[in-house]
Structure 1
Amino acid sequence: MCGIAGWVDYARDLSEDAATVRTMLGTIANRGPDAEAVWSDGDIALGHRRLAVIDIADSTQPMAAVEEGRTLAVLAHSGEIYNYRELRAELASRGHRFRTAGDTEVVLRAYLEWGERCAEHLDGMFAFAVWDPRRRELLLARDRLGIKPMYYARTPHGLLFGSEPKALLAHPSMECVVDAEGLAELLAYIATPGHAVYRGMRELPAGHVAVLRPAPGGSGGGGAALRESRYWTLPQHEHPDDLETTVATVRGLLQESVAGHLLADVPLCTLLSGGVDSSAIAALAARSLGDGHRPRTFAVDFEGHTERFRKDFWHEDPDAPYAVEVARHVGTDHEPVVLRTSDLADPVVDAAALRSQDLPRPIPDMDRSLYLLLRAVRQRSTVALMGEVADELFGGYQSFRDPTLVDTANFPWVTMGLRVAPHGMSTGLLDPGLLRKIDVPGYSAQRWSETVGEVADVPGEAGTERVMRRVGYAHLTRWLPLLLSRDDRLSMAVGLELRVPYCDHRLVEYVHNIPWAMKTADGREKSVLRSAVADLLPASVTQRRKSPFPITQDPRYGQVLRERFDAVVGDPAAPVRALLDGPACAELADEDRPVAVDGWGERRNVEMVLQLDAWLRHYRVRLDL
């Protein structure tokens, strides 16, 4: 894993502007703690921060392809290519010669062979930039599911680009501005392809490439032309297999994916919650590694959580006992990471989690606990496999299963949030006039209409099946990117590479088209996945109800929220005050009790106020509403 930052300008010589790109790279230094380098020449300054995972000694970047003293292309790459050995052999048969043993040079040579279509040949998680000095062209590319990030912003004569928004915001020409549409996108908690919340910034959509070149006739004036194009889309078609074949195929595809994701020259582990998703990954990893290789697993827990656990709408039971049971069953070296309330309340951790994502989020306590888990894991491993994406694929969420959520002309998770507050989740303490102006329900409904318009009609599919295809597509294209972004930022903030075997595009293409009736064949969520891995896991795990990422139920955490909320609301200089519902905040501030940590209403509203205030302060955001 790595970090990228760069600047193309066709109207100035950037040979001496490496310092600016180094400043941009400095904001994402945690993405690549092992090395930093900037390559600059005329129109471009291209920077890279490296986390060495494969071919540690030789695959330094930016990497140039030089032949007979002439530079053909220069690459900065983030991610892993799991089929690089096969591609290397194919490219060698076409006459390419290699001087390293890693996947970076394979990407570089793939560009020289196939040009902008090179991304179609790559299996893995990746985002990269290739500069072609012969054509004065820049190619940006992103993997099919968008596991690895890439952002860019147009300038009068070129482009800024980088792995995270903070890298672009560090450039002197960028303003940190959020308008009404950006704030609606943030508060709706959807991921509209291409949108980056910050005005003037765009996220390269998953499965896309972008090419920047001098504008026609503009070689002397510095004009630039940019073209985005899609090279992959989620296929929509009839499912040809019966249930038995489907279960066997899912098992085979998942097993192949896990085996491919174990490729590394550094210590590797898996994250294990005790749910079926992560347990399947741990079991298949142990099987792929074989005898003599006892894999390491990690799980998050909270001090006293099992003893004080109270069942709620989301959580049936605590995770820790199931994680231990799976570890014993599979045969892993298991290590729980036990967090204290003081850890979750640490303002340094709070700031680090917010800074890693560049945006406030409605569930920051989950972000902080994941950050702390990953930070602890990084002390033992450089790479970790996780079970993310199974719920989006196989239909594990309540937003798939509740019939009152799935056909409401809006995203199911937005509809769920609207039941908590009239303007959506985490908005209960924000100014009603502001919320009416932003119109989160209307904004998300418009985005929902655009989303379902992308879903093809499949012959013979109607009624529930047609609705659930749309719901599945929305989760994979508008919800999943939020999770992948969170996972990437929090793991990269501690220099850990997270891998997501359920995101293998062959598995995604196959499972997406499995009919909903088959996905719920036994009347339970994710029944195909449960059946596919039933022989690997204890029955208690394969039959366990879906349990989301755990949250602390310690009332002391509610007291911390109370103290911080009172401090912000009582601070005349707090930047968030202009966004708040004064009477509602005053009413809550007058109550002499901790913030309720049960449920999602009050807790989420207070967390959003604190997140917005910290974001506005530290990023010096200008709201143009």
Structure 2
Amino acid sequence: MSGIAACLRLDGSTAQRDDLTEVLNEMRRRGPEGEGRLTDGPVALGHRLLATTPEAVNEPMPLRDTQTGCCITADARLDNREELFTAFGLNGSERQIGDGELILRAWEKWGEDCPCHLLGDFAFLIWDPRRQQLFGARDHMGVRQLIYAHRPGKRLVCATSANAVVTAPCIESRLNELRIAEALVGFEHSSLSSTFFEDVFRLPPGHTLSASGQRFSICEFWRMEPVEQLRLDSNEAYAEAFMEVFRTATRARLRKAGGIGSMMSGGIDSGETTAIAAHQLAQSGEGPLCLR
């Protein structure tokens, strides 16, 4: 997974490329394939690349839309690309664009509701110069990480790791002793937002953050809700319904930039997933699955 970062100056001053130097250096191991930076007014965006999809290899990050001036840095794998292509009226070679650009188009179409239209694993940060707004989101289950520290009137710093956030200017590195004690005794912390540093927080899964001027907010865009119970005619029908979902989920994760590997634990979960993935790769002629 790639590393992303943003530093928004809340005092009205102009952002500098060096605002994210230490932050990106801290995430070098997370994204060893390249580094990108972009500044626009009070914001600096950064990216450390680990390409996990074919489109990510050639998608520059951070990415700026030449018409709107909106910019994005993203760590994402979208599973509903076909649905989004249809929504945006994209055809032919336009369908080769990366997931970051698709998210930026979703922002243009749906604004702050855009995460509701995305399916997959993602964390992203968008700067909209028209609104002077920084907007970020984390996927429904929190597979991709997004950490932030808000210092009113000074800085808002976001990154993929807490260790990276605390290297930024104006962010003090003070240990959260309660959180450390809970980890040492094996206590499952009830908070979805705490980190090992004081006043440095995780954006919870299924949430967005927004900063504009002196306004800062965290909002929930999704939560797991009970659904109508599925009622089928036989055990075989239930098994097939499960396998259809299982195959679809596995197929979505086979979209790749290089080879695919599976880490086997010896249990049913990893064994079944590996078997389905190997079968799908063999059917598509994309080569064998590397086992570990």
Counterpart of 1:296, as a letter, is: L
* 8 A contact 1:59–1:100 mirrored in 2: no
Q: 1:198 deviation in Å?
A: 1.2
- Report sequence identity in percent: 27
1:289 and 2:285 aligned: no
Q: 1:238 deviation in Å?
A: 5.5
Structure 2 length as normaliser, TM-score?
A: 0.89
Structure 1 residues 261-320: Cα deviation after superposition (integer angstroms, max 9, x where no partner)? 111132112222221101111111122123444422323xxxxxxxxxxxxxxxxxxxxx
Q: 1:183 deviation in Å?
A: 3.2
* 8 A contact 1:58–1:100 mirrored in 2: no
Task: Considering fraction of residues, name the structure with more helix.
Answer: 1
Counterpart of 2:164, as a letter, is: A
Counterpart of 1:140, as a letter, is: G
Give runs of aligned pairs for residues 549-588 of structure 1, distance below 5 A: none
Q: 1:20 deviation in Å?
A: 2.5
What residue is the counterpart of 1:128 in the other structure?
124
Give runs of aligned pairs for residues 55-454 of structure 1, distance below 5 A: 55-67=55-67, 70-71=68-69, 73-92=70-89, 98=94, 101-157=97-153, 158-187=155-184, 188-190=187-189, 192-214=191-213, 224-237=214-227, 239-241=229-231, 244=235, 245-291=237-283, 292-299=285-292
Structure 1 residues 343-377: Cα deviation after superposition (integer angstroms, max 9, x where no partner)? xxxxxxxxxxxxxxxxxxxxxxxxxxxxxxxxxxx
Give runs of aligned pairs for residues 449-468 of structure 1, distance below 5 A: none
Q: Partner of 1:30: helix, strand, or coil?
A: coil
* 8 A contact 2:146–2:158 mirrored in 1: yes
Q: Partner of 2:55: helix, strand, or coil?
A: coil
Structure 1 residues 527-566: Cα deviation after superposition (integer angstroms, max 9, x where no partner)? xxxxxxxxxxxxxxxxxxxxxxxxxxxxxxxxxxxxxxxx
Q: Distance in 1 between matches of 2:253 and 2:145?
A: 19
Q: Distance in 1 between matches of 2:75 and 2:56?
A: 14
Q: Partner of 1:256: helix, strand, or coil?
A: helix
What residue is the counterpart of 2:3 in the other structure?
3
Q: Distance in 2 between matches of 1:130 and 1:59?
A: 16
Q: Distance in 1 between matches of 2:193 and 2:77?
A: 23
What residue is the counterpart of 1:21 in the other structure?
20
**1:110/1:86 Cα in 2 relative to 1: closer, same or farther (>3 Å)?**
same
Structure 1 length as normaliser, TM-score?
A: 0.43
**1:191/1:197 Cα in 2 relative to 1: closer, same or farther (>3 Å)?**
farther
Task: Considering fraction of residues, name the structure with more strand.
Answer: 2
Structure 1 residues 395-427: Cα deviation after superposition (integer angstroms, max 9, x where no partner)? xxxxxxxxxxxxxxxxxxxxxxxxxxxxxxxxx
**1:180/1:274 Cα in 2 relative to 1: closer, same or farther (>3 Å)?**
closer
* 8 A contact 1:35–1:49 mirrored in 2: yes
* 8 A contact 2:85–2:95 mirrored in 1: no
Q: 1:57 deviation in Å?
A: 4.9
* 8 A contact 1:286–1:293 mirrored in 2: no
Q: 1:74 deviation in Å?
A: 0.3
Q: Partner of 1:14: helix, strand, or coil?
A: coil
The alignment yields a C-alpha RMSD, in angstroms, of 2.2
Counterpart of 1:82, as a letter, is: D
Q: Distance in 1 between matches of 2:61 and 2:148?
A: 20
Q: 1:47 deviation in Å?
A: 0.6
Q: Which runs of 5 or more structure 1 residues have no equivalent in the other structure? A: 215-223, 300-625
* 8 A contact 2:76–2:99 mirrored in 1: no
Q: Distance in 1 between matches of 2:96 and 2:247?
A: 29
Q: 1:26 deviation in Å?
A: 0.6
Q: 1:92 deviation in Å?
A: 2.1
Counterpart of 1:92, as a letter, is: G
Larger of the two Rg values belongs to structure: 1
Q: Partner of 1:288: helix, strand, or coil?
A: helix
**1:208/1:241 Cα in 2 relative to 1: closer, same or farther (>3 Å)?**
same
**Runs of 4 or more consecutive aligned structure 1 residues displaced over 3 Å after TM superposition:** 97-100, 291-294
Counterpart of 2:82, as a letter, is: R
* 8 A contact 1:185–1:197 mirrored in 2: no
Counterpart of 1:79, as a letter, is: A
* 8 A contact 2:138–2:208 mirrored in 1: yes
Q: Partner of 2:66: helix, strand, or coil?
A: strand
Q: Partner of 2:19: helix, strand, or coil?
A: helix
**1:293/1:21 Cα in 2 relative to 1: closer, same or farther (>3 Å)?**
closer
Counterpart of 1:32, as a letter, is: G
Counterpart of 1:18, as a letter, is: R
**1:238/1:82 Cα in 2 relative to 1: closer, same or farther (>3 Å)?**
closer
* 8 A contact 2:260–2:290 mirrored in 1: no
Q: Distance in 1 between matches of 2:36 and 2:211?
A: 22
What residue is the counterpart of 1:346 in the other structure?
none
* 8 A contact 1:185–1:191 mirrored in 2: no
* 8 A contact 2:71–2:128 mirrored in 1: yes
